[in-house]
């Protein structure tokens, strides 16, 4: 992986007078809360960025699919859902394999899914169910990197050496519309949360790209009354005239830098401030996070819980031009309950009572709501975890092991579901063997899934970007799965 220590590009702000520096300090330019909030957001692609990006289309393409999706909502089920208990049941397998749940018929003849997904069963005409996902890493934090970037995690175990998240690549390519950031991660932190997935999982950020291409990360719980992201209103103690003066001074500094740098783009820190001023001055920015604008009945349909309201927030953001929103499954921290979808014990109890009902309700409502608003054709929805669960109940496959009523980590075979954004619904792609242990047909590596996502978002398969030392890398050297849209 790239080493960045001695090769970082340097940008220099112009020298400004002591008087101007004092003016900036007295105006609180460096003390605004919004730029701190936006410190991990992206700048728009510069002319140099555009020159680095290739304009050629991939060899696997069609006018009807390439770039069909304008945005993506990535529903990430931290922990690893059990494929044989959700989307890929094996009713003919022995009891210790098939588990306790039964398959049910769906809207599409020949496709069956779990009985605890009754609403999704009526929407399989919109879904492409990929039952042959596979890789080899049994560790949560490393396996997450596979699914969010398409690549194996770096050996260094340093987040800056990660491959960039899909959202960071889109940010680097200049996607999105100001003032909202192009990449948002919803990671609601709940009371008694176990933070290790949140803090340690790789692939969530910009990796070897500049940190400014990272996400706006939201850890607030959108289901709580008074949910609020930063300070999207002008502080009462800051008069409008003073805010205007701050913005004017920033413009002057930018103009001076552009003149001295012969047209070079504005400094990243200055861009964060500029975006902050735009957010403060924009109805779009101020209102994007006001979930109480949504009808109460719709909020109830999504589910009055952290995941349901996070998904509703994601819909509001993509509707306003945000290219990618990742919604991570939260951990409710309930004692003796499995962490996230990591069902080493209580697999069937937690799936039936806590995990699948929320997924069924929220995922179904998202599909309906996007379609109602004319957004489904241009919004790609991806539902996945980092891996699946062991074929046999109680089987040990990692250091964590499994109780007699649980399933351990299993990357050999799992399921990912896609909808919208050019995807042809009503299909199952690939197949697992009789125990849902390994792919029996059309195995799909994460690199190919992520390449498919890029294809649908209009990113060529040969797209290259430079790391911080100036070395080019092919963003995702996989093969898009053309059967998913053809």
* Mean confidence (pLDDT) of the chain: 82
CA distance 231 to 405: 46
Query: Does residue 326 sit in helix, strand or coil?
Result: strand
Query: What are the angstrom distances between the C-alpha of 299 and each of 303, 373, 384, 463?
Result: 6, 15, 23, 39
Q: How many helices (H) and strands (E) does the chain have?
A: 16, 16
In a domain, 88, yes or no: yes
6 occurs within a structural domain: no
Q: What is the pLDDT of residue 200?
A: 77
Q: Is residue 74 part of a domain?
A: yes
CATH number of the domain at 107, please.
3.40.720
Residue range of the domain that includes 292:
30-484
Of 78, 74, 120, 128, nearest to 318 by C-alpha is 74
pLDDT of residue 355 exceeding 50: yes
Structure letter (DSSP) for residue 204: S
Q: What does the pLDDT read at residue 32?
A: 34
pLDDT in tens, 145-160: 999 999 998 998 888 9
Least trusted range by pLDDT, from 38-52, 104-118, 277-291: 38-52
The position carrying tokens 């997935």 is 197
Residue with tokens 């749940």: 101
Residue 1 lies in a domain: no
- How far apart CA 88 and CA 80 sit, in angstroms, is 14
The model's pLDDT over 393-421, given as tens digits with 9 standing for 90+, comes to: 999 999 999 999 999 999 999 999 999 99
The answer to whether position 146 is within a domain reads: yes
Residue 6 has which token pair?
A: 């001695």
Q: What's the total number of domains in the chain?
A: 1
Output the pLDDT for position 332: 73
More confident residue, 59 or 307: 307
Residue 335's pLDDT band (boundaries 50, 70, 90)? low
Please, are residues 250 and 272 in contact by the beta-carbon 8 Å criterion?
no
Of all helices (H) and strands (E), which one includes residue 244? helix 240-260
Q: Measure CA of the first residue to CA of the last residue in the chain; give whole Å.
A: 36
Give the pLDDT band of residue 270 (cuts 50, 70, 90): low
pLDDT score at 276:
57
296 against 260, higher pLDDT: 296
Distance CA 211, CA 103 (A): 45
Per-residue model confidence as pLDDT tens digits over 426-481: 999 999 999 999 999 999 999 999 999 999 999 999 999 999 999 999 999 999 99
Question: What is the reported pLDDT for 60?
Answer: 54
Contacts of 473 (CB under 8 A, 6+ apart): 163, 208, 464, 465, 466, 467
For the chain, what percent of residues have pLDDT higher than 90?
65
| Gap between the Cα atoms of 342 and 401, Å rounded | 11
Query: Is pLDDT above 50 for 387?
Result: yes
**Cα(176)–Cα(183) distance, rounded to whole angstroms?**
8
Could you tell me if residue 25 is inside a domain?
A: no
Q: Is residue 14 part of a domain?
A: no
Residue 430, class by beta-carbon neighbours within 10 Å (0-12 exposed, 13-18 middle, 19+ buried)? buried
Classify 272 as helix, strand or coil.
helix
Tokens 């890929």 — which residue? 88
**How far apart (Å, rounded) are the C-alpha atoms in residues 457 and 380?**
8
240 confidence band (pLDDT: 50, 70, 90)? low
∠ at Cα 140 (381, 456), nearest 5°? 25
At 254 the pLDDT is 55
Inside any domain, residue 59? yes
Q: List pLDDT tens digits, range 157-182.
A: 888 999 999 999 999 999 998 789 99
Tokens 């498919």 correspond to 452
Within 8 A by CB and 6+ apart from 44, the residues are 174, 178, 271
Predicted pLDDT of residue 29: 32
| Residues ≥6 apart with Cβ < 8 Å to 31 | none
Closest CA to 221 of 192, 190, 197, 194: 190
State the sign of the Cα–Cα–Cα–Cα dihedral 298, 300, 301, 304: positive
Q: In the predicted model, is pLDDT for residue 243 greater than 70? A: no
Q: Each residue of 122-145: pLDDT tens digit?
A: 999 999 999 999 999 999 999 999
Residue 31 has pLDDT above 50, yes or no: no
């Amino acid at each position: 992986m790239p080493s960045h220590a001695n090769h970082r590009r340097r940008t220099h702000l112009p020298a400004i007078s002591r008087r101007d520096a004092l003016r900036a300090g007295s105006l609180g330019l460096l003390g605004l809360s919004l730029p701190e909030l936006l410190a991990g957001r992206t700048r728009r692609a510069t002319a140099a960025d555009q020159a680095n990006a290739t304009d050629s289309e991939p060899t696997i393409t069609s006018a009807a699919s390439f770039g069909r999706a304008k945005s993506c909502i990535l529903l990430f089920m931290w922990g690893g859902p059990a494929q044989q208990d959700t989307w890929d049941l094996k009713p003919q397998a022995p009891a210790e394999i098939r588990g306790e749940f039964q398959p049910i018929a769906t809207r599409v003849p020949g496709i069956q899914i779990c009985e605890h997904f009754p609403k999704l069963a009526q929407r399989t005409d919109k879904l492409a169910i990929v039952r042959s996902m596979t890789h080899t890493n049994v560790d949560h934090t490393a396996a997450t990197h596979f699914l969010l970037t398409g690549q194996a995690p770096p050996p260094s175990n340093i987040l800056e050496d990660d491959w960039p998240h899909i959202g960071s690549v889109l940010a680097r390519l200049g996607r999105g519309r100001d003032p909202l950031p192009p990449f948002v991660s919803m990671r609601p932190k709940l009371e008694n949360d176990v933070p290790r997935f949140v803090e340690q999982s790789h692939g969530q950020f910009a990796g070897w790209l500049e940190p400014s291409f990272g996400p706006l990360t939201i850890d607030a719980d959108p289901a709580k009354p008074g949910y609020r992201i930063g300070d999207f209103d002008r502080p009462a103690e800051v008069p409008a005239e003073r805010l205007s003066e701050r913005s004017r001074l920033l413009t002057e500094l930018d103009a001076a830098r552009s003149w001295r740098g012969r047209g070079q783009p504005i400094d990243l820190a200055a861009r964060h401030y500029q975006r902050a001023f735009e957010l403060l001055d924009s109805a779009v920015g101020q209102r994007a996070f006001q979930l109480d604008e949504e009808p109460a009945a719709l909020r109830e349909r999504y589910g009055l819980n952290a995941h349901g309201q996070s998904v509703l927030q994601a819909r509001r953001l993509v509707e306003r031009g945000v290219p990618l929103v990742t919604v991570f499954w939260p951990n409710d921290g309930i004692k003796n309950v499995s962490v996230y979808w990591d069902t080493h014990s209580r697999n069937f109890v937690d799936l039936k009572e806590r995990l699948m009902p929320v997924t069924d309700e929220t995922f179904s409502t998202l599909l309906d709501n996007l379609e109602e608003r004319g957004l489904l054709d241009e919004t790609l929805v991806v539902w996945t975890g980092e891996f699946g669960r062991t074929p046999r109940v109680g089987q040990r496959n990692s250091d964590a092991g499994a109780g007699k009523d649980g399933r351990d980590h299993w990357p050999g075979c799992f399921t990912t579901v896609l909808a919208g954004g050019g995807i042809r619904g009503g299909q199952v792609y690939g197949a697992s063997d009789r125990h849902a242990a390994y792919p029996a047909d059309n195995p799909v590596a994460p690199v190919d899934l992520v390449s498919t996502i890029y294809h649908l978002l209009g990113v060529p398969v040969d797209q290259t970007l430079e790391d911080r030392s100036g070395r080019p890398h092919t963003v995702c050297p996989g093969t898009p799965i053309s059967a998913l849209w053809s």
